[in-house]
Structure formats: structure tokens, C-alpha cells
Structure 1
Amino acid sequence: MAALVAGTPWMRIRVIPKFAPPLIFRCHFRRNFSVRASVESNAPVRVRFAPSLTDNMHVDGARTALFNYLFARSKGGKLLLRIEDTDLERSSRESEEIVLRDLAWLGLD
């Protein structure tokens, strides 16, 4: 079981005590990515939204789509809708149409 220790950039991994004593491995997360490098490039901003097609859109999915849309729009970029058919048993064409309807209701063009 892996968990992020609250407020620190350390990862704690525990082993089931029945089989082995608890082991704690720690590795420091590197936080040295540069936003400036991506902003200064001339490439247009493209963000994606890949909703689950197994049910109606949830609030967290709508929030993610809206955040991505507003971010892309503020940078003159585009929001790409990614339709994944990884769960063929539960996804359907109607689910895809429902997602498109929900995104239109949110005002995302």
C-alpha cells in the first residue's frame, strides 16, 4: 500500500506485517520542472479531457473539463476530447453523446 505522507514530499510503502516486518522506503520527489520553458515556446497549448464513457459525467469530470478548457483558452490553445473505448462492455455510443451534451451544457465549444 502506498500513501503520500501529508504535507511532505515523501512516499511511504508498507508491506503486509503478517509476511514481513513493515518496511518504509523513502524517495524525495523531484520538483524541478519549468513552467517558463513551456510558456516561452511558440507551440500552441493543447490540453485533453478523457471522460469515462460508462456513466453520466460526474462533478469532478466536469470540473476537470472546465479547468482544462479555461486554461487552454487563456493561452490561446485548444481542449481535445479524447474518447477511449477501453471498457467495451460498459461504454456505448449513447454514453459518448451524453458526454458531448454535458460539455455543451457547460458551454465548452
Structure 2
Amino acid sequence: MALLATTVFASAILPHPAPVSPAKRQDEWNIWELQLWTSGCDGEPTETFSGHDDQMFPCGGGDHAWHSVKMDNMEATGHMVKLYGDPGCQEEPIATLTRDGTCYSAQSDKYIAAYTIEPAE
């Protein structure tokens, strides 16, 4: 009984590890983000898609249509994004993004239906 009381008392006074902040997790994981808008790159994005520096995606999107895209921390983590006008990523890409922070807007007669996230060339 004395051992149990000592164990409970000791665990109550030992400091617990501090929680890991989202900023620290982001630094450790190198999270990238693709931001998508229906018009322009101002304000809150219509949709975002994010992942870790070791993740690639062969074809994403498909249910939506966007007009503008911006990537964040993708160039820095060795990624590029190819944008497609068809939801299955079967046609030629309409654009290839390689620079973080640059807003790309599709031509007025086109829209972005899907994207691939690949290693930068």
C-alpha cells in the first residue's frame, strides 16, 4: 500500500512533457499546402490540400473546378504541381507550378479540374 501511495504521489508532482505546438510539428514535418480559389488568389482559399514533405499524389481534385492556385512550402520541400483541365489527369497539363507563393490563374476559357503533386524536376 505504501508503494502505491508513493507511486501516485510521485507521478502527481513530476512535470508532464509540454505539448508539441502546431508550429513545431510543421517545422519537423515540413508540411506543404496547395491553395485553390474559384477566382483570384485573394482572401480565404475555396479549398486547401496539404501533406508532408515525403508525400506525392498522382491525381487529386476531380469534383470541383478552380480558376486560381498557389502553392506554399512545396518548392522548399522539393515538390511541383501539375494542373489539369480534366478530372482524371489524362490530358496534357495546362500548367506546371514550381514556385512557392506565386498565384497561377487559368486562362478565362479554362478551369482547373485536377492536379498532381510530384517531385520537382
The two structures have a TM-score, normalised by structure 2, of 0.25
Larger RCO of the pair (alpha carbons < 8 Å, separation 6+)? 2
Decide which structure has greater strand share.
2
The two structures have a TM-score, normalised by structure 1, of 0.26
Decide which structure has greater helix share.
1
* Structure with max Cα Rg: 2
